[in-house]
Amino acid sequence: MRIEIYHASKYGNGKEVAEELRRLLEAKGHHARAQHITDASPGSLPDADLYVFGSPGRIGKPIGGMRRFLKKVNLPAGTRYAIFSTEIAPRPDKDGRMPTEEEVAKWQRIQPLMDELLRTKGLKKVADAKVYVNDVKGPLEEGWRKKVEQFADALADHT
């Protein structure tokens, strides 16, 4: 399977996830390539069996560059895609209370917005992964490699 991975990344965490994913997919015998979105042309992406898009969070949304990239993606309806995001891990408030899943989902709209942009083009989602960073600049959460491994397994299931 040929897999193209396009990521945004300001501080390098998303790039690390994309590179690890590429390495794992290659190890499974796939042809995978990972690129920063600034090195790719969304209107004329090369042929692939699966496209993976990865974005950091920005005020509850995907980073602007990724939103613009996804808006310009021009792929045939039915093309398969997967997404991942790097997001700040939910933290307790000043009283030590953790936000509920609903509270987090209300303002962390990174993946839903990525899906919305791709689904309106008729693209078909196969998997997603959310990898946390411990702070704005990282590092990636403990156990992030395991999450990426599970993501790679989920993608490989679609061969």
Ligand X SMILES: Cc1cc2nc3c(=O)[nH]c(=O)nc-3n(C[C@H](O)[C@H](O)[C@H](O)COP(=O)(O)O)c2cc1C
Helix (H, G, I), strand (E, B) or coil at 77: coil
- Cα(22)–Cα(24) distance, integer angstroms: 6
Q: How far is the CB of 108 from ligand X (least distance, A)?
A: 6
Number of residues lying near ligand X (CB under 6 A)? 18
Phi, psi of 91 (to 5 degrees): -120, 155
| Interacting residue with ligand X among 50, 53, 83, 108 (CB under 6 A) | 108
Which span sits near ligand X by CB under 6 A: 40-48, 52-60, 93-101, 119-127? 52-60
Q: If binding is defined by CB under 6 A, does position 62 make contact with ligand X?
A: no
- CB of 21 closer than 8 Å to CB of 34: yes
Closer CB to ligand X, residue 12 or residue 43?
Answer: 12
Q: If binding is defined by CB under 6 A, does position 133 make contact with ligand X?
A: yes
Q: If binding is defined by CB under 6 A, does position 87 make contact with ligand X?
A: yes
DSSP strand pairing (61-62 vs 50-58):
antiparallel
Residue 52: beta bridge partners? 5, 82
Closest CA to 134 of 99, 96, 90, 103: 90
Q: If binding is defined by CB under 6 A, does position 36 make contact with ligand X?
A: no
In the region spanning residues 9 to 28, those forming contacts with ligand X, defined by CB under 6 A, are 9-14
Residues at the contact surface with ligand X, assessed by CB under 6 A: 9-14, 56-60, 86-88, 108, 133, 136, 138
